[in-house]
A and B are shown apart, each in its own frame.
Chain A
Amino acid sequence: MFVRSINIQGFRGINNCKEIIKLSNFTVIIGRNNSGKSAILEALSLLPHPELSDIISRTKKIRYLRELHHDGILKKLLYLYAGTARLEYIINYNNADRRIKIEFDQDNIECNFEGSGNAGIKYAQSRLNMNQKYLEQSVVFIPDTTNILVALEARMNYYKELIMKEGHHIYLAEFLNKFVNDEYSELVFLTPISLRKILKDNKVYLPINDLGSGAEKVIKVMALLKVISPKLVIIDDFESGFHPSLMNLFLEWLKNEKWQTIISTHSIDVLNRLVDINPEQAKIIKLNKSKDDVLSHESLTLEELEDILNANIDPRKLGDALGL
């Protein structure tokens, strides 16, 4: 597990957290709209250093975040657009826990590793014993927007030799065949990237961006993750654009990979499937934000989730009534 916990103060719609949020190796965050799910994921996306490049967009993580939903203005990431955002994480690397603090106001950004002053990327490299490339590859954030598809295609092209060398171009076509009615034999690095479709007496090349956006996103994300093998994968609104069969397959695929996965969802299907596939060290975190924007949360184990689903209780509705 890469990131063990997070605490948030003054960031986006969150004034502060009632308790530190402890994460697990496979964490699923649920909660009403505007309960803080995306804010938590965005805060995590700044790891391990906000001034590193985001692996997909190739812009600085903090800049990517503010451009993503916030008109490019840093102060829009601040709670009520003023003050200082304080994000505190415990990450585990090389079997040691390390505390990282990120603080920023509308003018300045600081990142402290435990015991350090404002630490630059070089300091992060030495503390985490990773070169800049691995630092950048350590955390992948997939926001809920189709705007990333173009950037993902660029990354696929960047890594095309590795993708081909490791056989992912065939693996991904075979994965795609499991949830579409067509049959593809491989990904081909034309412009744009295409899939070779097998017909009875012929073969044609179909641009990958002609797939539905859900299928396109999954194939591109999987290609990236396969080659960079990150430490942490963060996916906002996991099921967005997915047919349940694709959702099931992607969830199961994530479960079998060795990185830490943190997703948010509104889907009861995701929760139901989670019980069936039973990822190791999985937990469900249910968020609730009070009127004064204090974030509280409840954690459920998979066993508890299964018990609740077996009573035909919708876990998304449980506890809200009590203001938890």
Chain B
Amino acid sequence: MQLVEDENYPNPNYIVFTGEGKTELNVMKGLAHVYNGRDIILHFPLSTLSRRTGLTALKSIKTTSKYYNSMIYIVDGDVFDNIPINEIQDYLKGIGIKINDVKLIREAFLINCEKGDKVINLYCIISGQTFIEEEIACLIKLKWGIDIDITGIRDIPWKKRIKREVNQVLKEKNIRIESLIKETGKKKLEIAFPNFCAVLKKIEEDYSKN
């Protein structure tokens, strides 16, 4: 699959959206390249104005379902107070989306749902226990053996520290996350980004079968 941000690709297969930010885009770009890099088109029209909105991002389905019936939603782990799958289902029901079926894909899931007469396949990727930088820290450990300490109380200063340390390593190694992912083997990526990879693998497998 390949990820496109802009509009000059006819008939993209999936729209990708997030209540988070640009890191999710860069991670997805790298991973899409590793998983085939062609055929399936993921459209990630990320806005330059980043809003951290968590589950509220799901409301966009009411509009984007006019254009797409396959979607990938990326959300940080710390958005959830309870069991993510339950919270997401409750939120979707609350905005008038009918849920037909839910399939687990590792800790990600595929929700088959309906909005009006549109049937939607919604893949939900939960990144990190708290946020995506934990997964990048894991990749850094696997790639270079550099430990970023992710213990401690998971509050805002903790998030800032992890983010800063991750960025520092990438800066020292003079590489961006997208490029790092592109030059890393699938095995390591599947350990670092288990939910992302599980979803992308499933999408590729389904595509190959058809």
Residues in chain A within 8 A of chain B (CB atoms): 32, 268-269, 272, 298, 300, 304, 307-315, 317-324
Contact, CB under 8 Å: B7 / A321: yes
Please tell me if B100 contacts chain A, counting CB pairs below 8 Å. no
Query: A269 contacts which chain B residues (CB < 8 A)?
Result: 49
Contact, CB under 8 Å: B17 / A313: yes
Selected interface stretch from B58-66, B80-88, B170-178, B185-193: B58-66
Please tell me if B129 contacts chain A, counting CB pairs below 8 Å. no
Query: A308 contacts which chain B residues (CB < 8 A)?
Result: 60, 63-64
Add 8 more A-B contacts to A312-B57, A314-B46 (CB < 8 A). A307-B59, A310-B51, A311-B17, A312-B17, A312-B49, A321-B45, A322-B67, A322-B68
Q: A311-B19, A312-B17, A312-B57 are in contact. Are A318 and B64 (CB under 8 A)?
A: yes
Among B5, B45, B56, B66, chain A packs the most CB atoms within 10 A around the CB of: B45
Please tell me if B116 contacts chain A, counting CB pairs below 8 Å. no
The distance in angstroms between the C-alpha atoms of A322 and B48, with both chains bound, is 21
Q: A319-B67, A321-B7, A321-B10 are in contact. Are A311 and B59 (CB under 8 A)?
A: yes
The distance in angstroms between the C-alpha atoms of A311 and B21, with both chains bound, is 10
The distance in angstroms between the C-alpha atoms of A45 and B113, with both chains bound, is 46
Q: Least Cβ distance of B1 to chain A in Å?
A: 15
The distance in angstroms between the C-alpha atoms of A318 and B71, with both chains bound, is 13
Query: B7 contacts which chain A residues (CB < 8 A)?
Result: 32, 317, 320-321
The distance in angstroms between the C-alpha atoms of A318 and B21, with both chains bound, is 17
Contact, CB under 8 Å: A318 / B45: yes
Query: B19 contacts which chain A residues (CB < 8 A)?
Result: 310-312
- In the complex, residue of chain A having the shortest beta-carbon distance to the beta carbon of B58: A311
Q: Least Cβ distance of A236 to chain B in Å?
A: 22
Query: A314 contacts which chain B residues (CB < 8 A)?
Result: 45-48
Please tell me if B20 contacts chain A, counting CB pairs below 8 Å. yes
Interface size for B (C-beta < 8 A) is 35
The distance in angstroms between the C-alpha atoms of A322 and B4, with both chains bound, is 13
Q: Least Cβ distance of A322 to chain B in Å?
A: 5
Contact, CB under 8 Å: B18 / A318: no
Query: B149 contacts which chain A residues (CB < 8 A)?
Result: none
Among B9, B19, B49, B62, chain A packs the most CB atoms within 10 A around the CB of: B49
Among A308, A318, A319, chain B packs the most CB atoms within 10 A around the CB of: A318
Contact, CB under 8 Å: A309 / B51: yes
B63 in complex: contacting residue of A268, A300, A317, A320, CB < 8 Å = A300
Contact, CB under 8 Å: A322 / B11: yes
Query: B46 contacts which chain A residues (CB < 8 A)?
Result: 312-314
Query: A324 contacts which chain B residues (CB < 8 A)?
Result: 67
- In the complex, residue of chain B having the shortest beta-carbon distance to the beta carbon of A322: B67
Contact, CB under 8 Å: A304 / B47: no
Among A313, A322, A323, chain B packs the most CB atoms within 10 A around the CB of: A313
Query: A272 contacts which chain B residues (CB < 8 A)?
Result: 49
The distance in angstroms between the C-alpha atoms of A265 and B56, with both chains bound, is 26
Contact, CB under 8 Å: B53 / A310: yes
Query: A298 contacts which chain B residues (CB < 8 A)?
Result: 66
Q: Least Cβ distance of A77 to chain B in Å?
A: 29
Query: A317 contacts which chain B residues (CB < 8 A)?
Result: 5-7, 43, 45
B57 in complex: contacting residue of A310, A318, A323, CB < 8 Å = A310
Contact, CB under 8 Å: B47 / A309: yes
